[in-house]
């Protein structure tokens, strides 16, 4: 009843799947291990993704259906970043990437992320969305943070 590695079975394949989707051609996609989760302007446009603590490891107990039952829930943040000189173009690019990413995450093949290993996007937890417009002297940029909750079922 060992828990599968969220890094190996969720984080790495998630990035690979995003990168291979034609909607994200020309977009840098990477796991962000930095403290602030703000990419360099050179890497934008991009989707940086990361674990949003805490994660929940729910082992055996009163809500378990058996002694060999375990659930693990983890939130993954996906930051969408765009940069440019025209605020209208920034908005258009930002919201198009958001629409593409949420369509991607909720498509049937992504909801049941890894059916063989019991990894799924939780239907009952809404995708969280936060936004930010950052004004730098030379490069206005905008971002949307999409939070998706995944669950591992281990038996």
Q: Please indicate, yes or no, if residue 132 is contained in any of the structural domains.
A: yes
Q: Please indicate, yes or no, if residue 43 is contained in any of the structural domains.
A: yes
Q: From first to last of its 155 residues, what are the pLDDT tens digits of the chain?
A: 566 789 999 999 999 999 999 999 999 999 999 998 989 989 999 999 999 999 988 765 555 555 566 788 999 999 999 998 888 888 899 999 999 999 999 898 888 889 888 888 887 667 778 877 665 556 688 899 999 999 998 76
Q: Please indicate, yes or no, if residue 152 is contained in any of the structural domains.
A: no
Q: Rounded to two decimals, what is the model's pTM?
A: 0.86
CB 57 within 8 A of CB 46: no
Q: Please indicate, yes or no, if residue 144 is contained in any of the structural domains.
A: no
Q: Please indicate, yes or no, if residue 65 is contained in any of the structural domains.
A: yes
Q: Please indicate, yes or no, if residue 12 is contained in any of the structural domains.
A: yes
Contacts from 36-39 at CB under 8 Å and sequence distance 24+?
A: 37/77, 37/79, 39/79, 39/81
Say whether the peptide bond before residue 119 is cis (omega within 30 degrees of 0). no
- How many domains does one find in the chain? 1
Q: Please indicate, yes or no, if residue 153 is contained in any of the structural domains.
A: no
What is the span of the domain harbouring residue 54?
6-138
| Phi then psi dihedrals of residue 18, to 5 deg | -65, -50
Q: Please indicate, yes or no, if residue 151 is contained in any of the structural domains.
A: no
């Amino acid at each position: 009843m060992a828990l599968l590695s969220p890094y190996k079975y969720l984080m790495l394949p998630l990035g690979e799947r995003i990168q291979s989707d034609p909607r994200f051609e020309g977009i840098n996609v990477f796991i962000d291990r930095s403290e602030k989760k703000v990419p360099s302007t050179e890497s934008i446009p991009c989707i940086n993704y990361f674990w949003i603590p805490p994660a929940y490891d729910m082992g055996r107990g009163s809500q378990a259906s058996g002694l060999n039952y375990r659930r693990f829930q983890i939130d993954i943040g996906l930051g969408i970043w765009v940069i440019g000189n025209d605020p209208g173009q920034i908005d258009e690019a930002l919201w198009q990437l958001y629409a593409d990413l949420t369509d991607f995450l909720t498509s049937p093949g992504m909801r049941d992320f890894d059916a063989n290993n019991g990894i799924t996007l939780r239907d009952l937890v809404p995708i969280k969305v936060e936004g930010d417009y950052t004004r730098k002297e030379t490069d206005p940029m905008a971002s949307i943070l999409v939070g998706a909750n995944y669950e591992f079922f281990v038996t």
